[in-house]
Each structure stands twice: as structure tokens, then as C-alpha cells.
Amino acid sequence: MTYQSGWVTDDVRMFRTSVRQFIQKELVPQQARWREQQRPDAEAWTAAGAAGMLLPDVPDTFGGGGGTFAHTAVVLEELTQAGVHFGFSIQNIVAHYLLAYGSDAQKCRWLPRMARGDLVGAIAMSEPAAGSDLQGIRATARRVGDCYVINGSKTFITNGWHAGLVCLAVKTDPAVAGWKGISLIFVETKDLPGYRVGGALDKIGMHGQDTCELFFDDVRVPAANLLGGAEGKGFSQMMERLPYERLTVAVGAVAAAEHAVSITTKYVKERTAFGKPLLDLQNTRFTLAACKTQAQIGRVFVDNCIERFVAGQLDDVSTAMAKYWLTECQCRVIDDCLQLHGGYGYMTEYPIARMWADSRVQRIYAGTNEIMKELIAWSL
Ligand SMILES: Cc1cc2nc3c(=O)[nH]c(=O)nc-3n(C[C@H](O)[C@H](O)[C@H](O)COP(=O)(O)OP(=O)(O)OC[C@H]3O[C@@H](n4cnc5c(N)ncnc54)[C@H](O)[C@@H]3O)c2cc1C
């Protein structure tokens, strides 16, 4: 009997069927165009909302799917296997900042619109001079009466083009050094004076995903948009929520490795060399056997993480291990699979070529893998 993921219940399986149908029918046919324009269509967000694909693990009282992280994992896996880059994951992450720390008024104002896809979320932490070291954030928010006045810039922001709601990391107290003066403030960007989105950043992969710089020039937002009720909580909020983001990256990593093995197995059965299918060559068989083994080890590990997360028992060190090891595994497997495609593996027309370029960033964002090793090492 082949291995089955324990967290995939009948309900989750049914959800997967509807998500897969939606992705194949509505999103896959748009991919070449999205890559060209360097962002998804705005309509894709509302279509995904109408299909019930957004915020699957947010309570239905706020418009979400009312499911668990298992439902979120399904969407991540299906998007990965379909080769669709759509900022679903970030939308969900932003929603979970609101769920964890937002006031009732903030949750009611934004979550239902995010679930419908009317409002696209982004999380803006990184700055030109502050990536791994978030204590170096320089963007500021100064309290003036009932408002915050925001100045500064952010870079590498996923969903940047479409974002109507930015969860923004700022210094509310620039006089306090390090993490203490950092806060998270929600910024509604529509028609907002002083707010500007830069052009799409030219990446080596994930071309259909909008990744942009954001600029804030005396931008005024209501003081009520502060997250968590008091200033100075931003750094600990990010540290508490980043493991969720890392788990989503790990889930995508395993799905990508599995998909690479699957499409490469098909390819080497069809392609011939020296009068026989590539699969008849021992090197091909051994390479794919090793890749399939690594993908399955990854699967068992990530399944364990998903189950523990759903049960509220996943620790941050295991999440860091999953993000680090599974994304390294993803890149190794995809690189080996690309090699088995020969020159065609280098052609962007072939999915394996795009997967190779797309996968590289997995070792960088959501905390680099070097930072993951630091986190793991603290537990030694
Ligand atoms: C496609 C893409 C999408 C992204 N989306 C978002 C987003 O939506 N929101 C957001 O806020 N950010 C986003 N990021 C930014 C991403 O999180 C950062 O790039 C990442 O955290 C690394 O920061 P940095 O690029 O400044 O690299 P740096 O911090 O300058 O790191 C450079 C190198 O030094 C290493 N290094 C740094 N510190 C240490 C240390 N203590 N020990 C060992 N090695 C170390 C790093 O591992 C890395 O190899 C995105 C990035 C990309 C490429």
C-alpha cells in the first residue's frame, strides 16, 4: 500500500477536488500572460474568493473557510503542482496577523473582504537595509493626533502591486534601538496620498507573481490601525507569526519536489537515447530513485509538521528545520530532475526549467536558511 498523508480527511479531499478544478480552469490558462505582465489579474483574486479558496483556515464568522491548516496546505500544494504563482499564501499570512492580534473592529473590517478577494493583503517587513536583521527597520510611523504619519520604503514585497491592505513593520519609537520600537500598522492603500508602488522587480523566477517596492511619503493612517493595541509589539508579533509562514513554504517545497519527480518520470519514459527510453539507463533510474526517496522523506516530515500544527503542538525549531531542510531538498531534487531533461530542461517552455528558477527563492525568503540554522542551533 502506498503512503497516505494522515491529515487528508474526506472533507480535505473534497476541498482539494474543488480547488484543483478552479486552479486548472481559471488560473492555469492565464499563466503565460501573468508571467508576461509580471502579476496576476486583479479578477483572479475575486474569482478565487468566490470559489472559496482564500483564507481556508480562518473562521467562517469572518468570511473564511472555517477549516484548519490542512485546508490551507491543500491550496498550497495544488498551486505548486499547477505551477501557478498567486499570492494566496501571503493573503493567508496577513489574515493570521489580524486573527492573532487584531481588534474585533479590525477583523470585521478587513477579513471578510480579504476572504472575498476584494482586498489583497501584503506583509511589508523587508527594507533595502533590513532583511534578515529586522531590528534594522528604518521606516517610521509618528503619532500625530488620531493618525500615524508614515515615511520610508519597503522592498521585495509579494502582492505589492495588488495590495489594498499592507501589514507594515515600522519604527514607532525611533529613539529606542533594536526591536523594542517596532510596531505593525495596517495601511489601506486605495487612493492614499503619499503611497506609491514601484514597478515589478525583475526576478529570476516566479515571474507571474507581483513583487514590488513600496514607498511611503508622509502617509497618514488612522491610529486605530495599529496592531495589538499598543506600540512596540511588532517584533514579537513577527517572531510569533513567522513560523506559520515558514510552514507554508515547507508545504510548497515538498509538493514541488514530488511534482518534479512525477513529471520527470513521465519524461524519461517517453524520451529515448541510444535506442531505448532514458529510464532504461541505470543512472536515470538511480537518480530518480534517490529523488523519489528524498521527496518521500520530505513528505513524511511535512505531514508530521502539518498534523502537529493542526493539533497546536508544532514548535518553532521543528518549523525552522522543515523550512530549511525541505527547501534544500526541493532545490536538490529539482536540479537533478532538470539534468535528466538534458537541454530541454534549460528551456523555459518546459515546466522543470521554470520550477528550477522558481524554487531558488524558497531558501531565501521567510527567513533565509542560514537564519533557520541559527534558530535551530539555539536549541542545541
Ligand atoms: C521573491 C521574494 C519575495 C519576497 N517577499 C517578501 C514579502 O512579501 N515581504 C517581506 O517583508 N519580504 C519579502 N522578501 C524579502 C526576504 O524575506 C528577504 O530577502 C530575506 O529575509 C533576506 O533578507 P535580505 O535579502 O536583506 O538578505 P540579507 O539579510 O542581506 O542576507 C544576505 C546573506 O547573508 C546571510 N545572513 C544574514 N544574517 C546572517 C546571520 N545572522 N547568520 C548567517 N548568515 C546570515 C543571509 O542568510 C544571506 O545569505 C521577499 C524576497 C524575495 C526574493
For the stretch 83-142, pLDDT in tens is 999 899 999 999 999 999 999 999 999 999 999 999 999 999 999 999 999 999 999 999
For residues 58 and 72, give the distance between their C-alpha atoms in angstroms, rounded to a whole number.
10
**CA 180–ligand 1 middle distance (angstroms):** 21
Which residue from 305, 252, 303 is spatially nearest to 6, judged by alpha carbons?
Answer: 303
**Does 37 lie in the same domain as 92?**
yes
**CA 282–ligand 1 middle distance (angstroms):** 40
For residues 101 and 38, give the distance between their C-alpha atoms in angstroms, rounded to a whole number.
32
Per-residue pLDDT of 230-269, as tens digits, reads 999 999 999 999 999 999 999 999 999 999 999 999 999 9
Which residue from 73, 82, 96 is spatially nearest to 13, judged by alpha carbons?
Answer: 73
C-alpha cell at position 75: 491550496
Query: Can you give the pLDDT at residue 175?
Result: 85
Report yes or no on 240 lying in a domain. yes
Give the residue from 190, 212, 232 where a domain finishes.
Answer: 232
> Are 237 and 98 contacting, i.e. CB atoms less than 8 angstroms apart?
no
User: Which member of 245, 258, 307, 370 is catalytic?
Assistant: 245
> Are 253 and 79 contacting, i.e. CB atoms less than 8 angstroms apart?
no
**Does 69 lie in the same domain as 39?**
yes
pLDDT at 177 over 80: no
User: Is 270 touching ligand 1 by the criterion CB < 6 Å?
Assistant: no
Which residue from 224, 235, 335, 250 is spatially nearest to 290, judged by alpha carbons?
Answer: 335
Output the domain CATH number for residue 17. 1.10.540.10
How would residue 179 be classed by pLDDT, with cut points 50, 70 and 90?
Answer: confident
User: Is 158 touching ligand 1 by the criterion CB < 6 Å?
Assistant: yes
User: Is 92 touching ligand 1 by the criterion CB < 6 Å?
Assistant: no
**Does 226 lie in the same domain as 128?**
yes
Alpha carbon dihedral 318, 319, 321, 327, in 10-degree steps, equals 150
Q: Give the atom of ligand 1 at the shortest distance from the alpha carbon of 154.
A: 11
C-alpha cell at position 282: 541505470
245 counts as catalytic? yes
Candidates 89, 156, 213, 242: which one to mutate for ligand 1, based on the most atoms within 8 Å of Cβ?
156
User: Does the global pTM surpass 0.85?
Assistant: yes
Query: Can you give the pLDDT at residue 285?
Result: 98
Query: Can you give the pLDDT at residue 371?
Result: 98
Report yes or no on 341 lying in a domain. yes
CA distances from 171 to 52, 148, 165 (A): 36, 11, 19
For 80, the domain range is 10-119
Residue identified by cell 514607532 is: 172
Query: Can you give the pLDDT at residue 2?
Result: 85
Query: Can you give the pLDDT at residue 158?
Result: 98
Alpha carbon dihedral 299, 301, 302, 303, in 10-degree steps, equals 80
**Does 207 lie in the same domain as 80?**
no
C-alpha cell at position 371: 537564519
Give the residue from 232, 259, 278 where a domain finishes.
Answer: 232
For residues 109 and 95, give the distance between their C-alpha atoms in angstroms, rounded to a whole number.
12
**Does 54 lie in the same domain as 161?**
no
Per-residue pLDDT of 330-370, as tens digits, reads 999 999 999 999 999 999 999 999 999 999 999 999 999 99
**CA 324–ligand 1 middle distance (angstroms):** 14
Number of structural domains found in the chain: 3
**CA 360–ligand 1 middle distance (angstroms):** 13
Report yes or no on 4 lying in a domain. no
Candidates 88, 132, 137, 363: which one to mutate for ligand 1, based on the most atoms within 8 Å of Cβ?
132
Per-residue pLDDT of 278-289, as tens digits, reads 999 999 999 999
